[in-house]
Amino acid sequence: MLKSTDIHRLHSSWTDHQLLSLSINLGQTPTGFGLWRANPILAQQKAYRVQLKQRLTCIVSSLPNQMTAQEQWDYVKSEIWLFTQRYAIDYTNWRKKSIKVLQRKRNAFLRSQPPIAIRLQCLPVMDQQIESLQQELVDIAALNAGIRWREHGEKSAGYLKRIHQVRNVEQSINYLQDTTSGSTVSSRTQLLKVSQAFYQELYSVDPVDKHDIDCYLQDLADLSQLNEADQSHWEAK
C-alpha cells in the first residue's frame, strides 16, 4: 500500500538531481530492530556531552552504598545506556522532522516563484541546513555498513546481493524443532512457544548431588597451603 510520496533535495556534492521518494506499507516483518549500539557520532555533539556530564554527576552522587564496586559499575553502565538510547531516539526524531520541514519549506518557496535575487539569497541557507542533516545520515549509514561495505559495495553488485542474503538468514529463523515432539514448526506462534520452552529449560537451575559437593569441598581442603611463617615471609616482601 502506497502511504506517501515526496520530492527531496539532495546534497550538492552528491548530485544535481532531485529525489522522488515513495513510502510503502508492506505489512508486518518477522525481524526486529536487532542489537542496539550507541552511536559514537553523538560524542561530536556538544549538547550530548553536556547532558552526559550532568547525568553522570547525578548518577555518581546517588549510588547506593551497599553495592559492590562491580555492581556500581554495572549500574552506571545501565543508566548511561538508557540515557544515550533516549537521547538518540529524541535526536533521530528531531532530525527526521527537521529534514521533512526544511524540504517542504524549500519546495513551497520554489513553487512561489520568487525573484532571482531573493532565490539566491534564501536557497543557500536552506540548502546548507538540509545538507548538514543529510550528511549525518550518510555518516551513520557508513558506520552501520562497516568497512567491507565501503570497500566493496560500489565495485561488486554480487557482493551486495550476497551480504543481503547472509543478513536475512542471520536475522530470521524460519524453522525450529520442538524438543518435546521432535516435529518441525514454522508458524510465528509455534516458534515463540518452542523458543520460550528452550530458554526456560536452558536457564533453569539443575539439581546438584550433595555427594558431589562434599567431594569438591574435600578436594579444596586437601590443597597445599602456606604455614604462618611462610605467609609472614611473603607479606614482608
182-209: per-residue pLDDT in tens? 888 888 888 888 888 888 888 888 888 8
- In the prediction, which pLDDT does 28 show? 65
164 and 145 Cβ atoms separated by less than 8 Å: no
- In the prediction, which pLDDT does 146 show? 63
- In the prediction, which pLDDT does 10 show? 75
Q: Extract the C-alpha cell encoding 40.
A: 559514537
Q: What angle do CA 113, 115, 120 make, to 5 degrees?
A: 105
C-alpha distance from residue 59 to each of 37, 54, 66, 79, 237 (Å): 21, 9, 15, 8, 40
44 — alpha (psi -120 to 50), left (phi > 0) or beta? alpha
* pLDDT at position 231 over 90: no
Segment 221-235 mean pLDDT: 78
| C-alpha–C-alpha distance, residues 203 and 180, integer Å | 17
| C-alpha–C-alpha distance, residues 214 and 216, integer Å | 5
Q: Extract the C-alpha cell encoding 28.
A: 508486518
| C-alpha–C-alpha distance, residues 227 and 128, integer Å | 76
Segment 165-178 mean pLDDT: 78
Segment 114-118 mean pLDDT: 90
Say what the pTM is: 0.53
**pLDDT tens digits for range 13-66:** 777 777 777 777 776 666 666 667 788 888 888 999 999 999 999 998 888 888
More confident residue, 134 or 8: 134
Segment 85-100 mean pLDDT: 91
More confident residue, 155 or 113: 113
For the beta carbon of residue 28, count every other beta carbon within 10 angstroms.
6
- In the prediction, which pLDDT does 94 show? 92
Q: How confident is the model at residue 230 (pLDDT cuts 50, 70, 90)?
A: confident
- In the prediction, which pLDDT does 150 show? 52
| C-alpha–C-alpha distance, residues 95 and 83, integer Å | 18
Q: Extract the C-alpha cell encoding 143.
A: 558506520
- In the prediction, which pLDDT does 152 show? 52
Q: Extract the C-alpha cell encoding 53.
A: 556530564
- In the prediction, which pLDDT does 83 show? 94
* pLDDT at position 149 over 60: no
